[in-house]
Structure 1
Amino acid sequence: MGADPDGGNRGGRAGPTGPRGPLDPRGPHWLRRLRGPGPKALAARRAVRTTLAACVGFYLCLYGLDDSVAATYALFGAVSMAALSHIPGTGPQRAAVLVWTLPVAWVLVTAGTYLAVRTWSAVLGVLVIGFAVAFVAAAGPKAAGASPGLQLLYILPCFPPYLPDTLGSRLAGATLGIVLLILAEAFLLPERRDTSYARLVARASATAARCTAELDRPPYALSPAATEAARAAGESLRPSLVAEAERPAGPGLRERALAHAGLAARTLLARLARLTPPAGPRPPQGPLDLLAAAGRAVAETSAKLSGTAQEGRAVGTEAADALRQARREATAQDPPLSTSAVLRRRAALLEVADVTAALATAADLALRGRAAAPSKDEPGRFWYARKRAPQLWWHRLAGHAGPRSVYFQNAVRIGLALAAARTVAGLDSLPHGFWAMLAALTLTRTTVAQTRTSVRQALTGTLIGALVAGVVLATVAGHTTVYAVALPFVMLVAFSVGPVRGVGWAQGMFTVVVSLVFAQLAPATWQLAEVRILDVVIGSLIGMVFGLLAWPRGAQRELRRSASVLLRTAAKTVEDTTAAVVAARPADAPDDEPLQHALIMAESAFAQYQSEPREHTGPVADWQAVLMTGHHVLWGSRRLLARSGPAFDPEAAAWADTHAAGVADGLRRAPAPPGAEPAPGAPYGPAAPELGPPLFFAAAIWLDALTADLTRMAAVDRVTSGSAGR
């Protein structure tokens, strides 16, 4: 035979390329598919990790240590935090979350063990703990993902018999299962991490730097290609387009700062795209130098966030510091008398400089934490920079402690459903009653329509799974070796198929899994499957009842209400800020705390809305644009009130009041379906006067930018429901 061109052998012997072709250094075909992209491969990888951790812990405790209690908790400890929880991210990212959940698991297992002494204490415990664990979802996607698994770690020990002397075995088993899962997540089947939010902000900052360079040379305007690049870079920072594990949604300082940097980058790109060319030839010095300074500062910020610069002060904050100094000097200087166009551009450049400085500060905070906290004379936009973690957590949770928060609504719904299921299980002495609570936990959705659909599918799947389990239990009887051999394979299939095929498959396969588990813990008959059906039916009915009684529409209606509150509050802020600036009395402007709170409520409702099926009957709004408008109102108000200047002359005051009234009226009517809003590009009020104090043109630029935001919202209102996910 001739030699293979690839260096192998065409005969039957296995050469360097193997008998059927070249050997892939990534491993055999099935391993490559397991490591590949897509939801099926992802579910398979997680199923392998879950099965390995759960079965190793279960078999070690049951057959090695002869401790059935520890075996139960080892298995359910791993299953609860892997299969029941939905922690986003790669294996190492989930392992990091599991490390800090381990002490919480100890507290929950201990509380459940001691509160099981009476039915009333167990019910009260599950009501309070169920609410608290669910409410922590307000802290972000990672905490929300871990919440269902932590609920199970309290549910499992809160049932009779009351055996506090087994607490040691329970804690040891749960710890073993979670530790094995941490190791499996960290080291088994590594995954490629999604692009981090810091790197996305770095890319957007680099785009902004290129835009400033283009704006700083003739013809002093962005080309269509640069405008499109700026738009795309801003869109890439939309939370809905960012991997869930990479969204900076947590309450900590660095997460807040990174989210702040993303908003600043989007704002900067939008402002650069709207920057008009200078009137006449470019002057050699003056405020236009702010553009070059902003370009250097944003390029410096991009280098730091992308990791291409060294850590620490040596990274270079010189460009950002120089920009801040140039901004202060330009703000303090009275501009020479000139045309309205020149003064407007000067104000626009000052706004670009301000947003760039905010971006640089937020990026420093995200990288270096409290060490990068700005001086106390900085505007209050970085209020969180000097706060410690407990204060920031309290601020986040306290902000959602009310019936208008979707996190509060979800926590109430879950707490009441679990308490009702525990009451029924305790009063009726329901065998394996925790299955009823588990069904209530896993099948209760944020809308009654979702709950009804999930219950129907779950009952069908459970019935089929119970029939299969009943046949297996009746056939195999007491031969536990068969159950022990079959469990890993069934578990692997269950956790691979369930997440991909839906709740019906998940419930059906899980019914077979738990039947094989409990058949090894104690003698079992086909009636175990019957009990499983009864428990799931009871839990499902309870979930449906509380899904119907407690905020059945989920975030669908709450988002529109929260957005309306946000825009009404923003309108009041626009009017009050303009009045205070016109009269040169910034102290008369009210506190912006209501606007901050309205933003928090709207953002949380939008986050939940993205995970729910759409219920559209007409035009839809770009809710992300609504949120961005709220931030623009807040930031612009603070920026204007932080500056000082003389009162406006009557002509400038009349124009500013008219413009502010038009913007406020538009905010109050948005995001209603279009009709009364002006056509894109139509201004509110008369043309601006040619002359005025510097603060007048700063206010004019702010109001013009909000006009553009209103136009954007009105335009999106005209689209169909196909863009609802924006």
Structure 2
Amino acid sequence: MPDRSTASGRAPSARRHGGAFPPPGAGRPRAAWWPPTHLPSPLQQPAALRALRAVLVIPGLFALTFEGLGNLQIAVFATFGGFATLVMAQFGGTRRDKLVAHLGLAATGSVALTIGTAVNGITWLAVLVTVPVAFAIFFAGAAGRNAASGITAALLSYVLPVATAGTMSMVPDRLAGWWLASAAGTAAVLALSPPSPGHRLRAAAAASARTLAACLDSSMRGTATTADAEAYRDAKHELMNAFDATPYRPTGLATADQGLAAVVQLLEWCAGLVDDATREHPGLDQAAPADRELFAAAASVLGQAGRLLDDSGTDGAASRHDRADALVAAAAEMDRRREAAAAIDRSVPSGARASGKPPRGRSVPADGDLESAQARAGNAFHAQVISLAVRSIVADTMIASRLAGPDTIAARRRSWYGAPQDAAPRGRRGALADALGIITSNASMRSVWFVNSLRGSLALAAAVLVADVSGVQRAFWVVLGTLSVLRTNAASTGSTVARALAGTAAGFALGALLLLGIGTSQPALWAALPVAIAVAAYAPGALPFAAGQAAFTVMIVVLFNLLVPVGWRVGLLRIQDVALGAGVSLVIGLLFWPRGSAAVVGDDLADAFRIGAGYLTQAVGWALGTRHEPADAGPAAVTAGIRLDEALRGFLAEQGVKRVSKRDLAKLVLATTRLRLTAYSLAGLHSAGPAGDGDQQGAAPARAALAQATAELAGFYDRIATQVGRPFPGQVVLPVTVPALASLDGHGDGRGDGDEGPTDLVRVISGCAVPHLLWVDEHLGHLRQHASDITGPAARVAEQRRLPWWR
């Protein structure tokens, strides 16, 4: 397929005059006959469909393998494998995504099942092997939402054989049961899934792009109202809610998924740029003609990107290609206007361009012209940076829509991982290495995935040890009990233990009453089995956790009485075993990471601010010509941002009272993103030569002032990092104040804090005809304006970090 991302067929340039915009860090029409479109409305609900699939598959698998084949091993692993595939694993995405995820679960389960069977006969070996196997399964969830959603199901394939007596001769039968369940379960999921109502994240991104385009267009025409600004802010909030709503990132490592994630971050950043532009310079209609044309082109392209992102499913593939062609043409026109505006910036001194008067060479403009120069330079800066943001949105939208060519994908992939903008493409092997780098970047105690995986693997190993040493009859239930109640902090684990025991006791009582009523009659138990499976399958996510435990216990009582009629005693054994497993989880929770994700969020915030400050220093040095190598802290900054995002999701998904407000955390996280992306933008600006080589008159003092302002800002972010970071005994954390950046002028930053006139720095730069220095000043001013937003939230986070975990 030709590359539709650029009019020329080439990858969009990562560097333009005036800097590069900072990036973050499809299919056929649906078949009208697809069966679920005709299901009654209640059966369209996820829990109801899950229960329906389980009832149709699991009893049939059990009947076929136990009554038909008469093989106990196949029957047990087919039944529990069916429950894992249909209930525990809840994969999302397209039918292709679900098929790939289920195949991955089947393959992973096969390996885990074989290992579990091989080591179950030797206690010390089983305990030792459980740690790396469980860790690998937990940690693989960092690969994406479907990998994370399949963790419990994959672990079941290991804990069942490792805690159940067996020999290697049983592996073929066990694998047969597992694959039979995988095949039947996957077919049921594909056949009985409703057509996608549309990707919520894509729809939110489309709405955000359209409303942002409308606001920018109305501002450029001079007809903007408060309703326009409120509309795009509301759309941005809905977009970020859709992105942050799940405990796992809604995008995985697939190229299209990463493109969509990049679109989300770009739209959030672009909304901030538009907000700043319209707030600082309300009259965009008063901008220079070239800048007005560029604003109009950017608004048009944004609107068309929103239409391409709108995956409502009502249009065919041909219509999508038409919209893509229109988007590419509009982006090419925007590129032409941006180059024309940049050419004017390079050829006309700032004061002359602003005033419309003939160039005055290097003479210092008068105050009136200087005020106009500052306003027009601000408009030019925002026009250029917004258009570069929109250009990146176009490329990532094409990638997310699976319409981009390999050159565009290679160019954008470098930016996703924070690689230097001039880095050469690395091909498919490089892309795989970059994707795997996201996973390996989590191999740190700063990563919520790493800590959770370590904690979970140790808990399961301890459960295997306790189950074997205690000599319980059903060791599997001890390990499953540990897995069921393990949470990310001690308080929520303790709460879940109580609810698990209450639910199990209730299930035991219900099962005992059921057996008292129907006895151990095989026909009656067979009739009760589908009902028990339906309730147990419906409960997750739809009913309280205790109710789900009760339903699962009733299903176990019925199932095991079909296997070996023992009456109500099986329920009593399950209570004892769950109590043991839950106790293991509680002890591990107290010993390892009692604060849960909250501690990692603080550590990751500190890393993001500290690394971002270093990245900013490098980028400004490169832009000023005082640094001889391009900024190379980008990959580390991207890694810190990804870890922070994952930790925040884990924290918000934890049960219990949140002692730090979501609003405070959102401000701090947004500040880290703003810092990183501003640094990336500055890394695209580069002086024509080293500082001091033929410096224009007055440029050296301007460079020194900008370097000093950068040092002050970097110091501010370093102090914020210390404040929110891990406390140590005797530490005294002083309040953090926003730097005045007095080096940029003689009386403050000159950005609207009073009735000051134009800044001295603007006067100097306007006189020495080095316009890109003014753009460095605009970048730093952008950070300075938002710095006061985070001092309060940082202080409150620091206060909470210094309290004991039980408080």
Question: What is the CA–CA distance in structure 2 between the aligned matches of 1:443 and 1:513, rounded to whole Å?
Answer: 19
SS at match of 1:251: coil
Report if aligned partners of 1:351, 1:698 keep a CA contact under 8 Å in 2. Answer: no
Amino acid at match of 1:324: D
Whether 1:34 and 2:42 are equivalent positions in the alignment is yes
After superposition, give the CA deviation of every residue in 1:422-481 in whole Å (9 maximum; x if it has no partner). Answer: 122233442121111101111110011011001111112222322443455567554222
Aligned match for 2:484, one of 442, 454, 458: 442
Distance 1:111 1:379, change over 3 A: closer
Q: Which moved more, 1:415-424 or 1:643-652?
A: 643-652
Aligned counterparts, 1:601-612, within 5 A: 601-612=643-654
Contact kept? 1:85, 1:146, Cα under 8 Å: yes
- Partners of 1:280 and 1:127 lie apart in 2 by 61
Secondary structure of the structure 1 residue equivalent to 2:332: helix
Displacement after TM superposition at 1:134 (Å):
0.6
Amino acid at match of 1:268: C
Paired residue for 1:337? 350
Cα-to-partner distance string for 1:238-282 (whole Å, 9 max, x where unaligned): 155666499543122222211111111121122122214488985
Distance 1:174 1:247 in 2: 29
Whether the aligned pair in 2 keeps the contact of 1:461 and 1:506 (CA below 8 Å) is: yes
Q: Distance in 2 between matches of 1:156 and 1:649?
A: 71
Aligned twin of 1:311? 321
Higher relative contact order (CA 8 A, sep 6+): 2
User: Aligned letter for 1:327?
Assistant: R
Cα offset, 1:415, TM superposition: 0.7
Q: Which residue is equivalent to 1:26?
A: none
Report the alpha carbon displacement of residue 88 of structure 1 after superposing the two structures with TM.
5.2
Partner of 1:698: 775
Per the alignment, do residues 91 and 488 of structure 1 end up closer, same or farther by CA in structure 2, a change over 3 Å counting?
A: farther
The aligned residue for residue 349 of structure 1 is: 383
Residues 211-610 of structure 1 mapped to structure 2, 5 A cutoff:
211-218=215-222, 222-239=224-241, 244=246, 248-275=250-277, 276-277=280-281, 282=286, 285-306=289-310, 309-311=319-321, 314=325, 316-328=327-339, 330-331=341-342, 333-338=346-351, 339-368=373-402, 371-374=405-408, 380-383=414-417, 386-387=427-428, 390-470=432-512, 472-473=514-515, 478-497=520-539, 499-585=541-627, 587=629, 589-610=631-652
Q: Paired residue for 1:667, among 706, 717, 741? A: 717
| Alignment CA distance shift 1:347-1:505 (3 Å) | same
Q: Which amino acid aligns with 1:34?
A: P
Q: 1-side partners of 2:338 and 2:565: how far apart? A: 78
Cα deviations by residue, 1:346-402 (Å, 9 ceiling, x for unpaired): 112111111111111211222237724339888952458855564244212110011
Offset from partner CA, 1:15-43 (integer Å, 9 cap, x none): xxxxxxxxxxxxxxxx856247xxxx543
- Output the CA distance in 1 between the equivalents of 2:284 and 2:395: 34
**Using a 3 Å threshold, how does the CA distance of structure 1 residues 289 and 608 change in structure 2: closer, same or farther?**
same
- Contact 1:88-1:245 within 8 A present in 2 as well: no
Give the distance between the partners of 1:498 and 1:280, measured in 2 at CA: 53
SS at match of 1:206: helix
Change beyond 3 A, Cα 1:633–1:504: same
Corresponding residue for residue 23 of structure 1? none
Kindly indicate whether the alpha-carbon contact (under 8 Å) linking 2:202 and 2:309 is maintained by their aligned counterparts in 1: yes
Matched, 1:649 2:699: yes
Q: Tell me, which stretches of 5 or more residues in structure 2 are unaligned?
A: 1-38, 352-372, 420-424, 692-697, 725-733, 751-758, 798-807
What is the rounded CA distance, in whole Å, between the counterparts of 1:480 and 1:50 in structure 2?
21
CA distance in structure 1 between the aligned counterparts of 2:247 and 2:97, rounded to whole angstroms: 8
CA distance in 1, matches of 2:326, 2:542: 45
Out of 321-330 and 509-518, give the one that drifted further: 321-330
1:146 & 1:403 partners in 2: Cα distance? 23
- The CA deviation string for residues 480-528 of structure 1, in whole angstroms up to 9 with x for no partner, is 2221111111222233346444222222221221121111112324332
Q: Which amino acid counterpart does residue 534 of structure 2 have in structure 1?
A: L
Local SS of the residue matching 1:249:
coil
Between 69-78 and 91-100, the greater mean CA deviation after superposition: 91-100
Aligned partner letter, 2:591: L
Structure 1 residues 281 and 128: alpha-carbon distance in aligned structure 2, compared to 1, 3 A threshold: closer
- Structure 1 pair 314–352 and aligned structure 2 pair: CA distance change class (3 A): closer
- What is the alpha-carbon distance in structure 2 between the residues aligned to residue 378 and residue 205 of structure 1? 19
- Matched with 1:75 is 79
Assess, with a 3 A threshold, how the Cα gap between structure 1 residues 380 and 707 changes in structure 2: closer, same or farther: farther
Matches of 1:684 and 1:527, distance apart in 2: 78
CA spacing shift, 1:640–1:514, aligned 2, 3 Å = same
CA contact (8 A) 2:248 2:649 kept: no
Q: 2:204 matched to 1:200? A: yes
What amino acid is aligned across from residue 304 of structure 2 in structure 1? E
Is the 8 Å Cα contact of residues 494 and 506 (structure 1) preserved in structure 2?
yes
Quick one: which amino acid aligns to residue 674 of structure 2?
A: H
Q: 1:113 to 1:490 in 2, by over 3 A?
A: same
Contact 2:463 2:482 in 1 (8 A): yes
Deviates more, 1:342-351 or 1:410-419: 342-351
AA matched with 1:319: A
Q: Can you give the 5+ residue segments of structure 1 that lack an aligned partner in the other structure?
A: 1-30, 721-726
> Which shows bigger deviation, 111-120 or 51-60?
111-120
Distance 2:260 2:283 in 1: 37
Q: Determine the structure 2 residue equivalent to 1:27.
A: none
The answer as to whether partners of 2:709 and 2:741 remain within 8 angstroms in 1 is: no
Contact 2:90 2:149 in 1 (8 A): yes
Deviations 1:16-71 (A, max 9, x none): xxxxxxxxxxxxxxx856247xxxx5433322222322112111222222222222
Structure 1 counterpart SS, 2:581: helix
Tell me the CA shift for residue 535 of structure 1. 1.1
Moved more, 182-191 or 486-495: 182-191
Change (3 A) 1:288 1:387: farther
Percent identity between the aligned chains?
Answer: 23
CA RMSD of the aligned region, Å?
3.5
- In 2: Cα distance, 1:251 partner to 1:303 partner: 25
What's the offset of the Cα at 1:119?
2.8
Tell me the equivalent position of 1:169.
173
Alignment TM-score, normalising by the size of structure 2: 0.77
In the alignment, the residues of structure 2 paired with residue 118 and residue 281 of structure 1 have an alpha-carbon distance, to the nearest angstrom, of: 78
Note closer, same or farther for the CA distance 1:394–1:189 as it changes in structure 2 (3 Å cut).
closer
Which whole-Å CA distance do the structure 2 matches of 1:481 and 1:280 have between them? Answer: 78
Contact 2:288 2:376 survives alignment (8 Å): no
Cα 1:583–1:379, aligned 2, differ >3 Å: closer, same or farther?
A: farther
TM-score, normalisation: structure 1: 0.85
After superposition, the Cα gap between the structure-2 partners of 1:718 and 1:596, relative to the gap in structure 1 and judged at 3 Å, is closer
